[in-house]
Amino acid sequence: MPEYFKISGGYVYDPANNIDGQVKDLWICDGKIVEPPSDPFIQPNRTLNASGLVIMPGGVDMHCHIAGPKVNAARKMRPEEKRRAEPVHRTSITHSGTLGSVPSTFATGYKYIGLGYTTAFDAAVPPLSARHTHEEFGDTPCIDKGFYVLMGNNHYIMNAIHDEEPERVKAFVGWLLGAAKGYAAKIVNPGGVEVWKQQQAGNVSGIDSVVDHFDVTPRQIIREVSKAVDDLHLPHSSHIHCNNLGMPGNWQTTLGSMEALEGHRGHITHIQFHSYGGGEGDENTFNSKVAPLADYVNSHPNVTVDVGQVLFGETTSMTGDGPLGYFLSNVYGTKWFSADTEMEAGCGIAPIKYRNKSLVHALQWAIGLEWYLMVEDPWRVVMSTDHPNGGSFLAYPQIIRLLMDRNYRHEILKTVHPDVVNRSQLADLDREYTLGEIAVITRAGPARILGLKHKGHLGPGADADITIYTPHENKETMFELPRYVIKSGIILAEEGDVRHEFYGKTLHVAPEYDSGIESSISKWFEDFYSIRFRNYPVSDSYLHESENVTTG
């Protein structure tokens, strides 16, 4: 006999199935949501009474930094922060750990599940470090996870684009994702990281700058990689961190990057950092350009975005955008870490602090909120802080309150730098999110954008990843400590306390590609890499629990 677990009587928010707060029972069997048994005499083996509580699918964080070489470097780089970081105490079920802006692996898993998030994706892993990242995932409990593979500055790809060989780009992207056991193709400051690696303080200036030695432009890299991703029928589109992050006037680069897709699917990440007007190096002209960019997103369904909301306070910036790390360390006058990964990628890390009385920081905060409020279709804008770059994922409940309660939002607006009201439209935006729309931007939407058919909804066949909240007038209070979090059908957390040892699985793709390319890649490795071709791919047996999500 199958074992049934029934959750009864809760208000269900399941926007993918058009359920918006109706009282509905959920039946679970073998870790999946199932139809209620047709035989009315079948009783569930276990029932959870959720009367009066709010039920949503488990949260899906589609852009955060939780594993891989730069996350680990950031943990080591800030002992002064780790010394005062809040500890996570060991129990009979859990390991010890620390919080701070870059939590330890174990603390990361426990805090995500405690917050009601059941799936998270690290957004920037050099494929050469994929093996290490999978090791770290093995120590990141409770949640399902995956990572995106950096390829916007990869020498092999830039050469193939220069040689106008789209089939070679496509085969290489397919091979690389399978070799790394990654989930999606990530483009970070296309071409710009390579120029940084070549020249002191180098970068590209816009999407039509030419990358020295490769004779390709960011526009070509965006277009060709995004085309390859579509041609491979990958579940997620290309995932793009545009050029000129953080620079006044960069909104035109962002608009150009969306146009460079030429109709292919593309996800523009942490778009808040890419929506600035004003002249270079002139703080007095810095302003919001969300309006024209949101117009473009609203009228182009091939484009999706996540926000990268800034919250006030201290954090650690970490990025695959090498020149950006250098720029931030100059702005903040802090220590700085930089590394190159052979012919693949770069990275920069710097401690930063967002202050509400700083005009630039207050505008960044407002620009993030404008994005949520000015994209008409909540299915195409996703909640993120680019953890930990704009703030911690633990700030999501605060963002929810800002979106659901305009009075609160206007009160906070009064406490930040006064010029923000003249340089952004935030003060004029009265929109308030509903609970159903919050369910879209935190789980249903990101799951759909990622092509995760079994996540982000509560219909039959979905993974039984479920978060149950106690309703509260103050939405920050409601969302920061869910009453129950169910992962794969198990009640894994209750009011933040982890109840079982559970590791979750790694989500990855294994695209079909033209294997004729392997002899050329093998020669490339023999000539240039520090590692043998045959030692590079991560084998299935190396992963802990995993699921191949390839579609097509």
Q: Could you list the residues that contact Zn ion (CB under 5 A)?
A: 123, 386
Look at residues 74, 79, 54 and name the one whose alpha carbon lies nearest to residue 64.
74
- Closest CB 34 distance from Zn ion, rounded Å: 36
CB 504, CB 144: distance < 8 Å: yes
Helix axes 166-180, 518-528, angle to 10 degrees: 70
Structure tokens at 475: 């939405």
Of 386 and 465, CB closest to Zn ion: 386
Of 195 and 347, CB closest to Zn ion: 347
- Closest CB 150 distance from Zn ion, rounded Å: 11
- Closest CB 389 distance from Zn ion, rounded Å: 6
Of 123 and 324, CB closest to Zn ion: 123
Of 65 and 483, CB closest to Zn ion: 65
CB 467, CB 56: distance < 8 Å: yes
- Closest CB 332 distance from Zn ion, rounded Å: 18
Give the C-alpha separation, 273 to 438, whole Å. 22
Give the C-alpha separation, 220 to 403, whole Å. 37
- Closest CB 85 distance from Zn ion, rounded Å: 21
The H helix count followed by the E strand count for the chain is 19, 26
Of 348 and 456, CB closest to Zn ion: 348
Of 274 and 505, CB closest to Zn ion: 274
Of 123 and 297, CB closest to Zn ion: 123
Q: What is the DSSP string of 208-237?
A: TPPBTTTTB-HHHHHHHHHHHHHHTT-SS-
- The strand pair at 46-49 and 5-14 is best described as parallel
Of 253 and 317, CB closest to Zn ion: 317
- Closest CB 59 distance from Zn ion, rounded Å: 17
Radius of gyration, alpha carbons of the chain: 23
Of 147 and 312, CB closest to Zn ion: 147
- Closest CB 359 distance from Zn ion, rounded Å: 24
- Closest CB 122 distance from Zn ion, rounded Å: 9
Distance of CA 493 to the CA centre of its chain: 23
Give the C-alpha separation, 309 to 383, whole Å. 8
The CB density around residue 103, as the number of other CB atoms within 10 Å, is 27
Give the C-alpha separation, 161 to 154, whole Å. 11
- Closest CB 351 distance from Zn ion, rounded Å: 16
Of 123 and 507, CB closest to Zn ion: 123
CB 375, CB 304: distance < 8 Å: no
List C-alpha distances in Å: 242 to 132, 150, 157, 218, 348: 26, 13, 17, 9, 16
Residue whose entry in the numeric block shows the structure tokens 């802006």: 101
- Closest CB 181 distance from Zn ion, rounded Å: 20
Give the C-alpha separation, 382 to 372, whole Å. 8
Of 123 and 328, CB closest to Zn ion: 123
The CB density around residue 90, as the number of other CB atoms within 10 Å, is 11
- Closest CB 391 distance from Zn ion, rounded Å: 12
Give the residues across from 139 on adjacent strands.
none
Terminal C-alpha separation, the chain: 35
**Coarse DSSP helix, strand, coil percentages of the chain, rounded to the nearest 5 percent:** 40, 25, 40
